[in-house]
Amino acid sequence: MIELFSSAFVTLFVVIDPPGCAPIFAGLVKDADTRHQHAMAIRASLAATLILVGFALFGEELLAALHIELAAFRIAGGILLFLIALEMLFEKRTQRREQRAQQVRNNSAALDDVAVFPVAMPMLAGPGAIASIMLLMAHAEGMAASLAVLAALGAVMAITLATLLAAAPLLRLMGAQVSSVMTRLLGLLLAALAAQFVVDGIKGAFGI
């Protein structure tokens, strides 16, 4: 169970990328007071957690309803995560997040509360995170394994909440260069994890 928890924790941490979300969140809420910033961080983390838990618990039933085999989803999810990894390695993902955040800032009606959009979804609970939690739950066999994956999700979201709450001080502490290096390292790790998902999917599809 410890190995499964560790694997799930690393996967979700890399995909959700709390250090990468922190500077973008800080930019989104820079015009709000500290109390409002903290309230939005809490709501965003809670909303993202509920979304991911929903897909973790009912994602497999959704696949069955759509007549999609688990092996096919593993391959598709692995390819999706690999594309995200490439974007992280070349910092395209961060640029896209910043552009989305700028669009929200330019919309005066959205300045009051950005907790649900774009922070909770798609910044935290995006396609990569949803695919990851569904793949991890598919790998989990039995109640104990499922609880280990959910515990890993809870731990990552707790770290995410702490990161968002301390976004402004962390941004000043880390600096742009440190954040950039960290994003690239996480992207490399995610690429390896994505390749493993594809390999597992191919093995399952062909009964290897």
Residue 28 has pLDDT above 90, yes or no: no
Q: How far is 53 from 46, CA to CA, in rounded Å?
A: 10
What mean pLDDT is predicted for residues 14-37?
Answer: 82
Per-residue CA distances from 118 to 34, 175, 181, 188 (Å): 19, 23, 24, 25
Please report which confidence band the pLDDT of residue 104 belongs to, taking 50, 70 and 90 as the band edges.
Answer: low
Residue 169: asked if its preceding bond is cis (omega within 30°), the reply is: no
* CB of 81 closer than 8 Å to CB of 185: no
pTM: 0.72
Query: What is the reported pLDDT for 96?
Result: 63
Which amino acid belongs to residue 64? Answer: A
Q: Give tens-digit pLDDT for 133-181.
A: 998 998 888 999 999 999 999 999 999 999 999 987 766 676 666 767 7
Q: How far is 191 from 1, CA to CA, in rounded Å?
A: 24
Burial class from Cβ neighbours inside 10 Å (0-12, 13-18, 19+) for residue 31 reads exposed
Per-residue tokens: 183: 């994003």
Query: What is the reported pLDDT for 175?
Result: 65
If you average pLDDT over every residue of the chain, what do you get? 82
User: Which one-letter DSSP state was computed for residue 66?
Assistant: T
